[in-house]
């Protein structure tokens, strides 16, 4: 929500922090999950609404002002991915059985679910909310329509119609993020490579190979000129600047 930071922990709790007062006594603790919390994210348009996903199979929605859980959705399996649609009206959550659920923060059951054909590691929306990107264990990034979850592009090798995917990694693709200007899409893999894709023709324009381990998380700066990265062998890795 701009001024706060939320974290989830293996001790089953969430904390909401004020970066200007980093001492733990100034943080807000939220309890309710029965297993480790895998991911948390604020609603992009409601500054006090926070969502958390946990290995207990429950997705919880929190009001950080009242410090209460205002809604929960159960029975989602070992959930570990989370992405809000840009309008904040829906979100997608994925579990380790490669099932993707479309959820509403105001409903107690999923709107829809989609079983994926391969290992799905992370999801991210384009800024319009009309496309969603899914990274796979085969090193690919799928581009699907939202909310229909249909392949956006297909091509015809011979007489067979085949889904178009971004193939930029030699092993599992772990992370994906759209640049704020929507000019580039970044993907990171277990091959220690970051690929930058032009979103006009979906060609890989460049790769970054200076990492020393799997790239598990990617985030663009607000102006889109920097990438912040997290890979398995580091905890305080510097941002990498690139010029488009």
Query: According to the model, what pLDDT value does residue 182 have?
Result: 94
Tell me: do 120 and 99 sit in the same domain: no
CATH number at residue 120: 2.130.10.10
Tell me: do 167 and 140 sit in the same domain: yes
* pLDDT greater than 50 at residue 192: yes
* pLDDT greater than 70 at residue 244: no
* Residue 237 is assigned to a structural domain of this protein: yes
Tell me: do 99 and 145 sit in the same domain: no
Tell me: do 54 and 165 sit in the same domain: no
Tell me: do 63 and 142 sit in the same domain: no
* pLDDT greater than 60 at residue 234: no
Tell me: do 139 and 80 sit in the same domain: no
Query: According to the model, what pLDDT value does residue 198 have?
Result: 96
Query: According to the model, what pLDDT value does residue 1 have?
Result: 47
Tell me: do 69 and 120 sit in the same domain: no
Q: 27-67: per-residue pLDDT in tens?
A: 999 999 999 999 999 999 998 999 999 999 999 999 999 99
For range 181-205, the mean pLDDT:
95
Query: According to the model, what pLDDT value does residue 185 have?
Result: 97
pTM: 0.90
Tell me: do 55 and 76 sit in the same domain: yes
Tell me: do 65 and 166 sit in the same domain: no
Query: According to the model, what pLDDT value does residue 233 have?
Result: 57
* Residue 111 is assigned to a structural domain of this protein: no
Sequential DSSP letters for the chain: --S-EEEE-TTSEEEEEBTTB-SGGGSEEEE--SS-EEEEEE-SS-TTEEEEEETTS-EEEEETTTTEEEEEE----SEEEEEE-TTSS-EEEEETTSEEEEE-TT-SS-SEEEE-SS-EEEEEE-TTSSEEEEEETTSEEEEEETTT--BS-EE-STT--EE-EEE--SS-EEEEEE-TTSSEEEEEETTS-EEEEETTT--EEEEE---SS-EEEEEE-TTSSEEEEEETT-SSPPPEE---
Tell me: do 138 and 234 sit in the same domain: yes
Domain count, the chain: 2
Query: According to the model, what pLDDT value does residue 138 have?
Result: 96
Tell me: do 163 and 69 sit in the same domain: no
Residue range of the domain that includes 203? 116-244
Tell me: do 239 and 133 sit in the same domain: yes
């Amino acid at each position: 929500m701009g001024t706060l930071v939320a974290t989830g922990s293996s001790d089953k709790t969430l904390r909401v922090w004020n970066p200007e007062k980093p001492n733990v006594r100034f943080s807000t603790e939220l309890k309710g999950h029965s297993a480790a919390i895998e991911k948390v994210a604020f609603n992009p348009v409601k500054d006090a609404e926070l969502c958390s996903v946990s290995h207990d199979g429950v997705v919880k929605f929190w009001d950080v002002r009242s410090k209460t859980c205002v809604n929960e959705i159960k029975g989602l399996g070992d959930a570990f991915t989370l992405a809000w649609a840009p309008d904040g009206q829906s979100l997608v959550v994925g579990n380790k059985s490669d099932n993707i659920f479309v959820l509403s923060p105001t409903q107690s059951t999923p709107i829809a679910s989609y079983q994926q054909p391969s290992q799905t590691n992370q999801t991210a929306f384009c800024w319009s909310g009309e496309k969603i990107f899914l990274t796979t264990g085969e090193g690919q990034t799928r581009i699907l329509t939202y909310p229909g979850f249909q392949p956006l592009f297909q091509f015809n090798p011979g007489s067979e119609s085949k889904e178009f995917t971004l193939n930029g990694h030699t092993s599992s693709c772990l992370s994906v993020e759209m640049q704020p200007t929507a000019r580039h899409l970044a993907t990171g893999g277990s091959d220690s490579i970051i690929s930058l894709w032009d979103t006009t023709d979906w060609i890989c324009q460049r790769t970054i190979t200076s990492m020393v381990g799997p790239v598990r998380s990617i985030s663009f700066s607000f102006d889109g000129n920097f990438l912040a990265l997290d890979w398995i062998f580091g905890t305080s890795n510097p941002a990498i600047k690139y010029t488009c």
